[in-house]
Every structure is written in C-alpha cells, then in structure tokens.
Amino acid sequence: MFFRFKTAKGGFPVTPNDDADLVEHVVALYVTSAGSLRVTMHNGDLLDIPAVPVGPLSFAVRRVHSTGTSATVIALTHK
C-alpha cells in the first residue's frame, strides 16, 4: 500500500495539556528532548510511548498530554 505524506511547512513548540487540543492540524512531531510521550491521535486513540528518542515522529496528533509526557516536542504543520 502506498501512502503519500505532505511536507511540513511550519511548526510551533508544544505545551503539553491534558484538556486542550493543539491549535493547528499537526502532521508530525519533532522530539527535541527524549522522554515519554502521551498523545491523542487524530482518530481519538490514546497512545503512550515510554521512551521516545530525539528526532521526527510521523504521527498526526490532536493533543499532547501533560500527564505521561516528559519529552519536549515541536509540532509540524502544513501551514
């Protein structure tokens, strides 16, 4: 199966929040400081990753939770 990925054209630092979704559609995350990560995917699934290394993650997410997140991330967008 072939998947077409769009290139990120913008980004912003993420402040993890258990109650609020990110302000823009996020196509990927870039981890700048390794650690754990808890996200809500665009389809609503909750994903816990205990050890995320520094680098890109091809995850389309709508929320980065403060509970369960110790990594520092930048959100990448289409804009």
Q: Which of 33, 44, 37 is nearest to 66 (CA)?
A: 37
CA distance 24 to 33: 22
| Collapsed DSSP state (helix, strand, coil) of residue 74 | strand
pTM here is 0.87
Per-residue pLDDT reduced to its tens digit, 55-78: 999 888 999 999 999 999 998 887
Beta-strand pair 26-33/61-64: unpaired
At residue 27 the predicted structure's pLDDT band, cuts being 50, 70 and 90, is confident
Q: Is 55 left (phi over 0), alpha (psi -120 to 50) or beta?
A: left
Please give the average per-residue pLDDT across 4-18, as a whole number: 81
pLDDT band at 5 (very low <50, low <70, confident <90, very high): low
